Amino acid sequence: GIQVEQSPPDLILQEGANSTLRCNFSDSVNNLQWFHQNPWGQLINLFYIPSGTKQNGRLSATTVATERYSLLYISSSQTTDSGVYFCAVPPRGGLGNLIFGKGTKLSVKP
Amino acid sequence: DSGVTQTPKHLITATGQRVTLRCSPRSGDLSVYWYQQSLDQGLQFLIQYYNGEERAKGNILERFSAQQFPDLHSELNLSSLELGDSALYFCASSVGPSGLYNEQFFGPGTRLTVL
């Protein structure tokens, strides 16, 4: 089945710093989603981005489907950005459930 | 707030017991997905229903079952509980029958602790 790899696994930042999180996937996909799991466990939708670039405030995402990767950019990070960031894709030939990467754990220090 | 609701938020029970988790999808969504998040297995897909019918199955144990009712809410039943079933259970919903082309929105989760 499709493999989803995220890097780095852990990231510690000072408040105000910028970061780039990467998601590689092993097969072509029809869609890709980025989520933020906050310290209380909630999974929050960030982007639905099968291809191209989207921006939402300090966050932006780019998916290059032909090269099988997606990037999540966080600018001017805040302590509330802490948590785990997941990317997820539906497996090719599947019915649309999402396959999740193992996540990037981000800690933003004040 | 994603619009997907799950109850209860927390559940503590003993081994061998049975519990029911409930999910209401976003208004207008016909698909409901159940996922399990455990420390060792990460986020894993369990089962999907679309408009009352089972549509896809993932790594769901035989001790687990689910259904989607005419009002589109769904229930996940977990029986003969074991310590290893302790996890965060998420429900997600989407508009169409296939998550291939539809964004999935997740509920707040039910944290199950089996003692």
pLDDT digit string (tens) for A27-82?
888 889 999 999 999 999 999 998 999 999 999 999 999 999 999 999 999 999 99
Question: In this complex, which of A33, A102, A103 lies closest to B104 when CB atoms are compared?
Answer: A33
**Residues of chain B below pLDDT 50:** none
Chain A residues with beta carbon closer than 8 angstroms to that of B109: 41-43
CA distance A15 to chain B (A): 26
CA distance B107 to chain A (A): 7
pLDDT at residue number B96? 81
Burial class (CB in 10 A: 0-12, 13-18, 19+), B27: exposed
Do the chains contact at B55 and A95, CB–CB below 8 Å? yes
pLDDT at residue number B7? 97
Chain A residues with beta carbon closer than 8 angstroms to that of B48: 95-97
Give the residue from B106, B110, B111 with the most A CB atoms within 10 Å of its CB, the best one to mutate: B106
d(CA B58, CA B45): 5
d(CA A77, CA B43): 26
pLDDT at residue number B59? 84
Question: Number of A:B CB contacts under 8 A?
Answer: 70
